[in-house]
Structure 1
Amino acid sequence: MARKFVAPAVPTNFTSKMIPDEHHQFRPPCVYDKRGPCPALNTLANHGYIPRNGVATAEQIIEAVVEGFGMHPDVAGFLVGYGVLTRGNANLAMLSIGDADDELIPALPGCLDGKVAGGISKPGRFEGDISLTRSDAGSSPTGDAAKFNPALYDQLLLYVGKYGNSTTGVDPTTINEAIVTNTVFEKFIPARFAFEQKNDKSLNFNIGRLLVDFAATGLILELFPSFPNGVKENLTVSQLDSFFRNERFPENWVRRAPLANLGDLAPTAGGLIVGSGVLPGRNVEGKFVQDKLDANTLLCDGYTSILQHDIPEILTSAAVTGVLRRMSKRC
């Protein structure tokens, strides 16, 4: 039986505050708890803002992202909805933030999208190639694209030392206080792209994936810094470490306020795309084939790409989600 999704309300009088509070203390995940490729979701689960087992309803995840990071429910709803449609159970509006859980999240009725609801750790769709801290499934020795890769993260820190606001370069005794800037990612992402273009024979970085990846990086720059009294501070390596290595909120960390909406996030993501110079495409028979890119239709092309490559076709049929189908026809 389907479960009706009820969109969480936009909170009133939303202010900056210390996160976590006394009711959400850190606890490392147990062996059976689901954790995946998203450090923000893993952090929320480790603090109990979403169920600690890593399996949650769409409403629980939206409310957690709003409460923990100060993301506007409209933006959170889009991202969580994307996750549910691509790797969850849209009939129940539920999602695993890691591997599949057959008991708590069964497959869609009639196994319309396979016998297992994948969870976001499954490569492709929600999480894809050119991650900052996860290897591509096609280049990973183990095929694990969800597990944190310390070597990749250390490479990122080298870029912080070179391109961030640091007076000591990569001096390990002071790197924790170095500031993580937009330029760091504008330089690091092309390096990641070049590596995977060479080593991942199945590399797929279509226009939809490009937009999703750069949006995710923009969220790091806009939601991971501390916001005492609603004022954005610089993002430091120690804070980045806390989220990526330890998957817990940093000490004395204050969430963003007011709520971050699309108007706050889009310019950052757009600036990263322009600054990096990375273009969409894929590897075909050992050669990189670039996608056509038109600045006038960029968002529309990205939306169409997501429908074609990420969301199961059955869910975009008029009988299931006619709104998606109608929106695609406008492009």
Structure 2
Amino acid sequence: MAAPPEGHPEIDYTKWSPPGPGDVRSPCPAINALANHGILPHNGKGITKDMAIKAICQSINFNPTLASVFATGGVAANPDHSTHTFDLNHVNKHNWIEHDVSLSRQDIAFGSNSEFNKEKFETFIKGFGDVEATTFESASKVRYERVRESKEQHEQEGKEWTYGVKEVTMSYGETALYLNLLGHDGVAPLEWVRVLFGMLFRLSSLLRMS
């Protein structure tokens, strides 16, 4: 895990608790982790654009421009545009930030597109084979296999499949995101990938491994 940018305060990553009654979360594991750690409001509600940008940049060293893209999209997803804030579940809209071909969620035509899907995730992890770390090549391969599997399932079931330029950009961008967040030059410990996606999105677990 990268250190906070120079001049930014240290963050207590050991402060963690799962979402409770009334708390809301998004389809994005990384953003959910920030709420579980209290870096964003733990209830996932009332998040301003500035609040989101600050949390993302300080905690996972995001480029401010990229952080602003998510934050702007979050505020725009709130049906009440007069508030200038958003709740994490507001972005749980098909083809907003969530889309078909997720590595850890079911496609919306076949189930919940926001809840973690163990079967999909385990298929993704097994695609790397018997290795300890990712590469650009292996990460691209498992992403493509998920694309192929998703398209085939939609065709067999006669369901509409949406995977255009936007979805391609977002899906491969997500792969680049976890590779750069957890590793360098495409090499990320596979166990760290498993923790980020599959163990209740607990950033402190990753720090204990480093």
Instruction: Say whether the fold is shared (TM-score over 0.5).
Output: yes
Q: TM-score, normalised by structure 1?
A: 0.54
- After superposition, what is the alpha-carbon deviation per residue over 1:186-242, rounded to whole angstroms, capped at 9, x for unaligned? 1112221122212231210111121122212211111133xxxxx889421221222
Alignment check: 8 A CA contact 1:88 1:96 kept: no
Contact 1:179/1:237 (CA < 8 Å) preserved in 2?
A: yes
Matched, 1:47 2:47: no
Q: RMSD of the alignment, in Å?
A: 2.7
In 1, Cα distance between equivalents of 2:55 and 2:35 = 9
Of the candidates 47, 50, 66, which is equivalent to residue 59 of structure 1? Answer: 50
Task: Report the AA paired with residue 41 of structure 1.
Answer: I
Alignment of structure 1 residues 206-221 onto 2, 5 Å: 206-221=164-179
Residue pairs, 1:119-268, within 5 angstroms:
119-140=90-111, 144-161=112-129, 166=131, 178-200=132-154, 201-225=159-183, 234-246=187-199, 247-251=201-205, 253=207
The DSSP-based 3-state class of the residue aligned with 2:91 is coil
- Alignment partner of 1:74 is 2:59: no
Q: What is the alpha-carbon distance in structure 1 between the residues aligned to residue 168 and residue 75 of structure 2?
A: 20
Residue pair 1:239, 1:250 contacting (<8 A) in 2 also: no
Residues 197 and 29 of structure 1: CA distance in aligned 2, closer, same or farther (over 3 Å):
same
Shift of 1:12: 7.3
Cα deviation for residue 14 of structure 1 reads 4.7
Give the superposition deviation at 1:181: 2.1
Residue correspondences, number: 199
Q: CA deviation at 1:123?
A: 2.1
CA contact (8 A) 1:139 1:199 kept: no
Q: In structure 2, what residue type is equivalent to 1:191?
A: E
- State the alpha-carbon separation in 1 of the partners of residues 5 and 31 from structure 2: 24
> Quick one: which amino acid aligns to residue 60 of structure 2?
F
Pairs within 5 Å for 1:316-331: none
Secondary structure in 1 aligned to 2:138?
Answer: helix
| Rounded Cα–Cα distance in structure 1 between residues aligned with 2:41 and 2:173 | 25
What is residue 6 of structure 2 aligned with on the other side?
Answer: 13
1:6 matched residue in structure 2: none
Structure 2 CA distance for aligned equivalents of residues 90 and 232 of structure 1: 40
Scaled by the length of structure 2, what TM-score is found? 0.83
SS in 1 for 2:104: coil
Which segments of structure 1 move beyond 6 Å, counting only runs of 4 or more? Answer: none
Structure 2 counterpart SS, 1:77? helix
Do 2:19 and 2:42's aligned partners in 1 also have CA atoms closer than 8 Å?
A: yes
* Cα distance in 2, alignment partners of residues 91 and 124 from structure 1: 23
- CA offset at residue 139 of structure 1? 2.4
- In structure 2, what is the Cα distance between the partners aligned to 1:209 and 1:135? 15
